[in-house]
Amino acid sequence: MEIKQGTQSFFIGNEENSEAEVHFVRVGENRIILDHTHVAEHLRGQNVGQQLVKAAVEYAKKEKLQVIPLCPFAKAEFEKHPDYQELLG
């Protein structure tokens, strides 16, 4: 499964009608807010959501951004992964 980067998301499928995505909003110069995660029913249970959040985390690290995980799923992933804590904004 290929995770693609859109203008404000990481997704599977196509950007307009994705099968799974984590959406983010840029806040200022150095922060992003993860505000929504969606995984289609047929992809659930395959760690797709976790992979999408990980892609957003890797993007934030590369771009030297802090992350505000407002989405409950993303917030839970940050709580599960101590290595994500350094990015909390």
Query: Tens of pLDDT along 11-34?
Result: 999 888 899 999 999 999 999 999
- The whole-number pLDDT of residue 15 equals 81
What single string gives the DSSP state of each residue in 23-41?
EEEEETTTEEEEEEEEE-G
Q: Measured between alpha carbons, how far is 54 from 22 in angstroms, rounded to an integer? A: 10
- Choose among 75, 86, 82: nearest CA to 34: 75
Q: Measured between alpha carbons, how far is 87 from 57 in angstroms, rounded to an integer? A: 8
- The whole-number pLDDT of residue 83 equals 95
pTM score, whole prediction: 0.94
Task: Specify whether the CB–CB gap between 34 and 83 falls below 8 A.
Answer: no
- Low-confidence spans in the chain with pLDDT less than 50: none
- The whole-number pLDDT of residue 16 equals 82
The secondary element (H helix, E strand) that includes residue 14 is none
- Choose among 31, 55, 88: nearest CA to 79: 88
